[in-house]
């Protein structure tokens, strides 16, 4: 499980950076985060944990898989990560320019 930096959860769940460190300790071939991207469970937005996971795994050079909710993966197939949450993230942030271009032009 990954989650953002909500201090209220630190005693019962690993935060994202700890999850990436655990992947290093376990010498995982691919990190597959779970329990994110379905709803806001904490004081951060639902997409914050995956954005942090991408940041931390990139630094540590750990392959990360980010399938869409319900997507089927087959072990051994190439990983085709698509940031599927990004359009939802920018809408949540009120960035209509992402869809329509700069407002007022």
Instruction: Note the pTM of the prediction, 2 decimals.
Output: 0.77
Sign of the four-CA dihedral 6, 45, 38, 53: negative
Tokens representing residue 66 in the block: 């980010």
- pLDDT, mean over the chain: 81
Report the alpha-carbon distance of residue 29 to residue 47 in Å, rounded: 23
Structure confidence at residue 99 (pLDDT): 57
- ∠ CA 30-52-12, rounded to 5°: 85
In-domain check, residue 1: no
Domain that holds residue 57: 7-100
In-domain check, residue 2: no
- Higher pLDDT among residues 94 and 98, named by residue: 94
Which letter does DSSP use for residue 64 in this model? B
Confidence band for 105, pLDDT divided at 50, 70 and 90: very low
> Above pLDDT 90, what percent of the chain?
30
Work out how many domains the chain is built from and give that number: 1
In-domain check, residue 83: yes
Confidence band for 43, pLDDT divided at 50, 70 and 90: confident
In-domain check, residue 48: yes
Cβ contacts of residue 46 below 8 Å, gap of 6+? 36, 37, 38, 39, 40
Q: What is the pLDDT of residues 3-25, one digit of tens each?
A: 556 666 677 778 888 899 999 99
Closest to 84 (Cα-Cα) out of 41, 57, 40, 54: 54
In-domain check, residue 27: yes
In-domain check, residue 105: no
């Amino acid at each position: 499980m990954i989650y953002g930096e909500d201090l209220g959860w630190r005693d019962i769940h690993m935060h994202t950076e700890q999850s990436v460190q655990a992947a290093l300790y376990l010498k995982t071939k691919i990190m597959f985060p779970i329990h994110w991207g379905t709803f806001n469970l904490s004081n951060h937005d639902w997409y914050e944990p995956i954005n942090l996971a991408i940041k931390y795994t990139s630094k540590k050079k750990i392959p990360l898989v980010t399938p869409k909710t319900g997507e089927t993966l087959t072990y051994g197939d190439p990983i085709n990560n698509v940031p599927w949450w990004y359009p939802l993230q920018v809408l949540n942030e009120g960035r209509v320019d992402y869809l329509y271009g700069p407002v007022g032009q």
